[in-house]
Amino acid sequence: MTITATDIDKRASYSSKPPWLKISKSVKNHEIFNSTYDIIKKHNITTVCQEAGCPNINECWSKSHATFMIMGDVCTRRCTFCNVQTGKPTPLDIFEPVKIAKVVAQLQLRHVVITSVDRDDLDDGGASHIASTIRAVRYRNPDTTIEVLAPDFLRKPDSAIRDVISAKPEVFNHNIETVPRLYRDIRPGSRYFHSLRLLQQARELDEKVFTKSGLMVGLGETKNEVIQVMDDLRSANVDFLTIGQYLRPTPKHHEVYRYVTPDEFSYFEEVAINKGFLMVSSSPFTRSSYHADEDFIKIKKLRYTRQKPEHIK
């Protein structure tokens, strides 16, 4: 099927979810799902799976996969796409890094994704706490690879990103989220070019770290705007790209402008691979940490060569 700009840019004529967004809510492995739930609940761990209402939670928890959200469950930003509550955060839990490390061990994770809320109230945006969590996980789980999905550290000193990178995560992830034209409506507390620079700085600080970013579609962006973001990310030497459908968490959040078809996601994937990304995940249900462990296993052999894979998707 040939995808044209008109196909991608036009607004959907329906308001209900199309057939390809009908996801099974059944749990494939109740025993593993319940075990994952019990471990997370026992240690009072916050996960982005729950806080963001991720549609993939049943699949991931049935495989003992979870994405940990540190520094509390209250964010200092008010992004219109995000379901995490906004307000005044609680003080940091100094024992959280050790708790996360323990849960990673109990879940026997071979690759862990650690994200956080934005903490504009902290002098370093929480960078030192993120670094402490990475080090604690590494100490207790030396064979586990670590992916950090970091906030933007806007208006924080450059030492913030240096602290995180010094902890040596295998992957530094920061989501660009949407095209620059929509930032005022979607990410009013963030700055597009600052986020690009943050990703570039991560690579400058450690040439061996893989960098990653994610993009939502269906918010009113055009095909050409998405492709321009790809070019911007490649200019910042970003290695991995995820593209997924925006799904409105509640009626209070930003509306879904349109539902992007599976063929369009395939088109974006092909374009991104041709632009030189080492790994691309582009599908309606793709999320930043969805299948992150499997994707990292596919490309970790490229750590030192950074060769473009012939058919990694």
Reported as a single tens digit per residue, the pLDDT across 192-226 is: 999 999 999 999 999 999 999 999 999 999 999 99
CA 170 to chain centre: 15
Task: Please check whether residue 171 is in contact with residue 147, taking contact to mean a CB–CB distance below 8 angstroms.
Answer: yes
Helix axes 192-205, 159-166, angle to 10 degrees: 50
Q: Side chain identity at 73, as an amino acid letter? A: D
Residue 13's pLDDT is 38
CA 129 to chain centre: 19
CB crowding 74-113: b at 16 or more within 10 Å, else e: bbbbebebbbbeeeebeebeeebbbbbbbbbebbebebbb
Residue 180's pLDDT is 98
Give pTM, 2 decimals: 0.87
Please give the share of the chain, as a percent, with pLDDT higher than 90.
Answer: 62
Listed in sequence order, the residues at least 6 apart from 94 whose beta carbon sits closer than 8 Å to its beta carbon are none
Listed in sequence order, the residues at least 6 apart from 176 whose beta carbon sits closer than 8 Å to its beta carbon are 192, 195, 196, 199, 213, 214, 215, 229, 232, 233
Question: In the predicted model, what is the mean pLDDT of residues 151-169?
Answer: 97
Residue 310's pLDDT is 53
Answer whether residue 117 shows pLDDT above 50.
Answer: yes
DSSP state at residue 18: P
State how far the Cα of 131 lies from the Cα of 120, in Å rounded to an integer.
17
Answer whether residue 39 shows pLDDT above 90.
Answer: no
Task: Give the number of other Cβ atoms within 10 Å of residue 232's Cβ.
Answer: 19
Residue 199's pLDDT is 98
- Domain 25-302 in CATH 3.20.20.70? The answer is yes
Q: Give me the chain's average pLDDT, please.
A: 85
State how far the Cα of 30 lies from the Cα of 36, in Å rounded to an integer.
10
